[in-house]
Structure 1
């Protein structure tokens, strides 16, 4: 390879172009570049490779590339400025992909959809410090094929942390790292088989959908202000999926008597309680109640993740499993770690062990409590027809609406630029027709909005609350 070619490769930016069709090399190159921009494959502002680099990659003369760039600059497809190279012009209009409606992807100004922490609140400096320490101390095998159980360093820290903060009784060998709650349910669905699962009448449709895809039939259990009616777990259920610390999304904690009853059911039937501890650390009116798992580690599997406390992009979750489920879950996961990065697992282990995670959670707990308090106060003052239900916890609250008004409230919210979800969308499709074991009909569909107060940056939160109040006022008057 010549010295000039080496320089061109070093300076280059990879760009895939198909030089096909009739015409000169210059004409074919112009056509390929124009099509790459028109299709949206080269977005506005994208910097193109220098003449020498692209010419070397394509096997054409440098002047051919220079002439093609100049032609497309003249046509308005590209722009060229001294010192910044050649870029795709900012004003080029790119059509949307077929089948995508503009209103389906339009972002509303105020995001009050539940379940999403503010991305700006991620503790970048502390996380970077942990990453540096973790990588410096990492053994060589951390960069090889991963253990499907997860890095032992993280499992040790998780066992200690969960025991200290959530009252979990486990050991590292009973912890399996996964990519989040959805991944945990997919794995458990391959192990706890043969019988239907009981689930709370209100919950994530996404979770019910993935269980259905895995062949698990779900049967709803009624929910009230004391959490799931565990005395109504259908006969023959192999597991019951609960959110004991903070029922999702209605917001009530599982009553102490019902916590004990859930464990008694599992012991008597040989079933398992699957505890989704999705936001157990975020309780604001008192210290968080310990995990249900602590009552019987052999019948309760605890599921947790950092998606609410840190960021869903980390894709790190965990299961503290009964001993009888560990081997099956590991086998279902596979022979190697295919999901969670070993380096991020090591970073989280350091983040937990150094106390940085505790400090971050305490900081976010204060922030979320203040956000929820503002929501409650503003609604009480401006829209007294509604009320915020559930305990002071988590990243969302349910705003209970008068019967028959949810659809109008959602439409008004969209008109006022507020992205928010309705409570009825979280109800199990069979819940309205469900007949309880005592012969009475199941719960009627409640009207409400599930308001996530964690996502908006501080500068937008006041505006989001104002827009929400205006929307509710217009829908209810």
Structure 2
């Protein structure tokens, strides 16, 4: 599709990439480009305009982030939506420190956004992706073959396979120090789905306290059930328990490795939270999404171990193995288990058994324990590489030696946007702290995950991320 004439002012106030994004956005708003039109590759457009490919790639990344264009693997970049007539999202005198003004929207899978010439995907350094490099292919195949040996299911099972619940009980006792009664264990499709199920057991309009910043999918699940989300600050010792308001129906938290800041809830606050839950009658929802992954010291006792009568404990295999299995677990007081089962009976919700069978097979043959040992070694090594690369650029990280991500704090939202944009121009996707807040962001920085990319990609991406963060640290603390 030929483009209209594009004039870039090299002496202008705005960066060339912003000018180019404005021109392409205007062409779609004016009808010159229409939905479905294919844009030139970044290399072709750079040659036509006489600019570096960094300029054209940054412009395309901005339009991708805004949702006006989309990338198709191996095909190129296409117009997907047409802005309202006269829209100029990039205009407005933004200082050069800011460059692009919008981080990628929540939920976009940036790992599969192609550059315009199809030269390759952005290396995704956001958190939440499992480390498939640590998964033994032979053990994986063996588990699936064993899972297929049993007969097909004749009917639904809202509770979960007895063998799966027994495997979960063994796993929790061995790796998390939590003694659990199989009667209190329910299979779930994963942590987010379990939060959604628990949310539906509360009356609409109930207030639920959540960590700020925190896990946005949990927030979305709570709101979808008609609950009112109340943000509570997090500091170096985790959730500020004294800031939890009176009258809440539940508190959702990630005490083992707070998401996204990476700190752990202190022992004193764990006790205080359980005591408040008992005294005030609210439920504590403990999301233990990666609690098995510690590299420094033994983890603190689970909230469910301190208060099994007031805590609903959530676990998942998505971060330990892969989301392919689609299973997790809920360990909760009997009344909570009964309420979830009642809701399942009414809605017909029932977790699939295939993932349960694979998990049982992995556990039964010792492959799960061996995988966890490999995973801890792999991620500990990756974390050390990340910390060293960032330290070499003068960038410090925060958070415990645990999990699969670190946080690099930045002076403000301008600096956060600058880091995201600069890294994207170099082929790396970074995730900003800003989008993890319910209200006005109080903390700026980058949540850098290191589990998802293959080792070679991670090593290639780290210098780009380090350079982008180093530049952003000098961006000042102005708010955008």
Match status 1:417 vs 2:427:
yes
What SS does structure 1 have at the residue aligned with 2:209?
strand
What secondary structure does 2:397 align onto? Answer: strand
The structure-2 alpha-carbon separation of the partners of 1:255 and 1:476, relative to structure 1 and needing over 3 Å to count, comes to closer
Structure 1 residues 334-343 or 298-307, which shifts more?
334-343
Partner of 1:275: 286
Following superposition, the deviation at residue 425 of structure 1 comes to: 1.2
Query: Matched residue pairs, number?
Result: 370
Task: Please give the alpha-carbon distance, in whole angstroms, between the structure 2 residues aligned to 1:157 and 1:302.
Answer: 16
Matches within 5 A, 1:71-110: 98-99=80-81, 106-107=113-114, 108-110=121-123
Distance in 2 separating the partners of 1:100 and 1:241: 39
Distance across 2 between alignment mates of 1:95 and 1:255: 48
Query: Residue by residue, what CA displacement relative to the aligned partner does 1:420-470 show, whole Å, maximum 9, x if unpaired?
Result: 1111211121xx5xxxxxxxxxxx711210001111111112111011122
- Contact 1:169 1:293 (8 Å CA) reproduced: no
Q: Contact 1:150 / 1:337 at 8 angstroms: preserved in 2?
A: no
Cα shift at 1:125: 1.5
| 2:407 match | 398
Q: Which residue in 1 is equivalent to 2:104?
A: none
Q: Report the alpha carbon displacement of residue 98 of structure 1 after superposing the two structures with TM.
A: 4.8
User: Moved runs in structure 1, 4+ residues, more than 4 A?
Assistant: 92-98, 335-339
Matching residue within 453, 469, 474 for 2:471 = 474
1:101-140 mapped onto 2 (5 Å cutoff):
106-107=113-114, 108-136=121-149, 138=150, 140=151
Kept in 2, the 8 Å contact 1:276–1:303? The answer is yes
Q: TM-score, normalised by structure 2?
A: 0.72
Change (3 A) 1:184 1:472: same
The answer for the alignment partner of 2:368 in structure 1 is: 357
**TM-superposition CA deviations, 1:289-338 (whole Å, max 9, x none):** 33210011111000110010101121111100111111110121237975
Q: Aligned pair 1:255/2:258, yes or no?
A: no
Structure with the greater alpha carbon radius of gyration? 1
**Residue number in structure 1 paired with 2:182:** 172
* 1:227–1:253 contact (8 Å) kept in structure 2: yes
Query: Cα distance 1:210–1:129, how it changes in 2: closer, same or farther (>3 A)?
Result: same
Inter-partner Cα distance in structure 2 for 1:393 and 1:466: 22
Does the aligned pair in 2 maintain the 1:181–1:304 contact within 8 Å? yes
**Alignment check: 8 A CA contact 1:169 1:297 kept:** no
Which sits farther off after the overlay, 157-166 or 275-284? 157-166
Deviation by residue 1:219-243 (Cα, 9 ceiling, x = unmatched): 0111000000011111100110011
Normalised to the residue count of structure 1, the TM-score between the two structures is: 0.73
Shift of 1:97: 8.2
In structure 1, how many angstroms separate the alpha carbons of the residues matched to 2:77 and 2:176?
51
CA distance in 2, matches of 1:206, 1:134: 30
- What is the aligned partner in structure 2 of residue 458 from structure 1? 455
Cα distance, 1:475 vs. partner? 3.2
Q: CA deviation at 1:120?
A: 4.3
Distance 1:309 1:343 in 2: 17
Go from structure 1 to structure 2 and tell me whether the alpha carbon gap of 1:93 and 1:277 turns closer, same or farther (over 3 Å shift). closer
* CA contact 1:280–1:394 (8 Å) conserved in 2: yes
Q: Distance in 2 between matches of 1:245 and 1:368?
A: 17
Give the conservation status (yes or no) of the 8 Å contact 1:131–1:344.
Answer: no
Alignment counterpart, residue 299 of structure 2, candidates 284, 288, 298:
288
| Of 248, 273, 280, the match for 1:237 | 248
Structure 2: 5+ residue runs without aligned partners? 1-35, 37-73, 84-107, 115-120, 475-480
Q: Is the 8 A contact 1:199 1:218 kept in 2?
A: yes
The correspondence of residues 51-66 of structure 1 with structure 2, limited to 5 A, is none
Picking from 235, 242, 257, the partner of 1:246 is 257
Unaligned runs of 5+ in 1: 1-38, 40-91, 433-443
Task: State the Cα distance separating 1:131 from its structure 2 match.
Answer: 2.9
Matched residue SS, 2:252: strand
Q: Distance in 2 between matches of 1:466 and 1:198?
A: 38
- Per the TM alignment, residue 210 of structure 1 is displaced from its structure 2 partner at its CA by 2.0
Q: Quick one: distance in 2 between partners of 1:406 and 1:266?
A: 37
Note if contact 1:387-1:401 (Cα within 8 Å) is conserved in structure 2.
Answer: no
Shift of 1:415: 1.5
